[in-house]
Amino acid sequence: MAKFKALVVAKADKGQSVAVEDFDEADLMDGDVTVRVTHSTVNYKDGLALTSKAPVIRRFPMIPGIDFAGIVESSSHAEFKAGDNVVLNGWGLGETHLGGYAQKARVKGDWLVPLPRGLTAAEAMAIGTAGYTAMLSVLALERHGLKPADGPAVVTGAAGGVGSVAIALLAKGGWQVIASTGRPSEADYLKGLGAAEIIARADLAGPARPLAKERWAAGVDSVGSHTLANLLSMTKYGGAIAACGLAGGMDLPSSVAPFILRGVSLLGVDSVMAPKKARLEAWSRLARDLDKGKLAQITQTIAFDALPDAARDILDGKVRGRLVVTIP
């Protein structure tokens, strides 16, 4: 198949154009593994890339999609052979390297991980970068020595992809989960995932005091800005917040008070360039710990040609949970 279908973003007179095109396999970028892509997903970063709301794409033309799952077609990499089921998250996919919204991808084998035993390709993409990032955040809290007996865990952006998976994982681990959301209509959904308490996004959106009443021992934050500053000011002595997103902004209008007066820690979580050992651990734990019923509960499947609309919806806060894209 010299030509294959791909969603291509190109430079236009005003901004960028997005269209499904016949892409030439010869124009794929360098890599030692070629994959027949079967599934992808839509993350917040994908929404930014497809709508040009932020400079996510660094080269044009670009095939977006920071995740994919598929089957190896050919490989010169020692760890993979034709027929292997694989998953890829990050590594500049859809930003500097042609991504997952296509029937084929050519990538470096060092970027791939085997599809975890017990997960289908569709389930892996229901998890996607959002769920994988949630797992990295939970692992960071565990490495910090935190446990459910220390107090509640708070999750911001709770109805989104990272938040939904984080709630399910923390609740499964025995934590009392406090879910912060700007969508009160999603309360039943969040409680179904395991949240014990729902608080309004607005409660954390204003300017933070240097220190506020201690409310939680741990947290997973995908929002940043004032929200993260408020989380830190309300974290119990010796607690920690895992920061993994910036949906509310890149700034952090906080003070040193939580760090030097309560010993609070801010744990940075990067999913894009995480080393392979961390990726394998995260995916292994996801396959073991994430309830398949809850994963199905948070997942919607969309068609390939619905991607542009889905990108706008995820930025507008209209997407609950996770979106899986079936590649035709």
In order of their start, the domains of the chain are 3-115+298-326 (3.90.180.10), 130-268 (3.40.50.720)
Distance CA 75, CA 250 (A): 39
Q: How far is 243 from 306, CA to CA, in rounded Å?
A: 30
Predicted TM-score (pTM) of this structure: 0.94
Alpha-carbon 20 to chain mean position: 24
Q: Give dist(CA 126, CA 301) in Å, integer.
A: 9
Segment 291-307 shows an average pLDDT of: 95
Residue 246 binned pLDDT confidence (cut-offs 50, 70, 90): very high
Backbone angles phi, psi at 316, to 5 degrees: -85, 5
Q: Is residue 120 a contact partner of residue 36, using CB atoms and an 8 Å limit? A: no
pLDDT of residue 56: 93
Q: Element (H or E) spanning 266, and its range?
A: strand 265-268
Evaluate whether 7 touches 49 at the Cβ level (below 8 Å).
no
Say yes or no to pLDDT of 1 above 80.
Answer: no
% residues pLDDT > 90 (the chain):
96
Given phi > 0 = left and psi -120 to 50 = alpha, else beta, which region is 263?
Answer: left
In this structure, are residues 325 and 307 in contact, taking their beta carbons and an 8 Å threshold?
A: yes
pLDDT of residue 12: 86
d(CA 243, CA 241): 6
Average pLDDT, stretch 226-235? 98
